[in-house]
């Protein structure tokens, strides 16, 4: 047996590390903030945003909730729904919101 050969594992590139807990939390908070921006939109503005049906219905429901605790829980649910989306689904939402904010000023 020849022990001079390098191990097979050392030749493979190192796999990327998963995001840290802090990074995951920052991403989740950013998505929840994005959801809060959606809740603040008028129905006409909301209609122009490409949202999945379930998320759109939840945003509309949240707009009707006045009670602070219930609204906070609903916002957390919106954040959960946003985390389920692929980045390819979230990016058009961000772009549409950015366009609306630029148009306001």
The boundaries of the domain holding residue 71 are 21-104
57 found inside a domain: yes
Tell me what pLDDT residue 27 has. Answer: 87
86 found inside a domain: yes
pLDDT digits (tens, 9 = 90+) for 26-72: 888 888 899 999 999 999 999 999 999 999 999 999 999 999 899 99
What the block records as the tokens of 55 is: 């998320």
15 found inside a domain: no
49 found inside a domain: yes
When the pLDDT of each residue in the chain is averaged and rounded to a whole number, the result is: 85
Tell me what pLDDT residue 19 has. Answer: 82
List, in sequence order, the alpha helices (H) in 1-105: 8-11, 21-39, 43-47, 53-64, 68-84, 87-104
Measured between alpha carbons, how far is 26 from 31 in angstroms, rounded to an integer? 9
85 found inside a domain: yes
For residues 89-99, average pLDDT: 92
Torsions phi, psi for 30 (to 5 deg): -65, -40
pLDDT class for 24, splitting at 50, 70, 90?
A: confident
Domain total for the chain? 1
13 found inside a domain: no
Tell me what pLDDT residue 59 has. Answer: 95
The enclosing domain of 75 has a CATH number of 1.10.60.30
12 found inside a domain: no
Tell me what pLDDT residue 72 has. Answer: 92
11 found inside a domain: no
Measured between alpha carbons, how far is 37 from 45 in angstroms, rounded to an integer? 11
| Prediction pTM value | 0.73
């Amino acid at each position: 047996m020849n022990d001079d050969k390098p191990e097979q594992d050392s030749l493979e590139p190192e796999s990327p590390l998963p995001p840290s807990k802090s990074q995951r939390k920052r991403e989740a908070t950013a998505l929840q903030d994005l959801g809060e921006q959606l809740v603040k939109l008028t129905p006409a503005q909301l209609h122009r945003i490409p949202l999945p049906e379930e998320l759109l219905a939840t945003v509309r429901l949240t707009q009707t909730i006045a009670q602070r605790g219930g609204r906070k829980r609903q916002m957390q649910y919106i954040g959960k729904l946003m985390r389920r989306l692929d980045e390819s689904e979230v990016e058009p939402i961000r772009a549409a919101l950015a366009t609306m904010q630029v148009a306001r000023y």
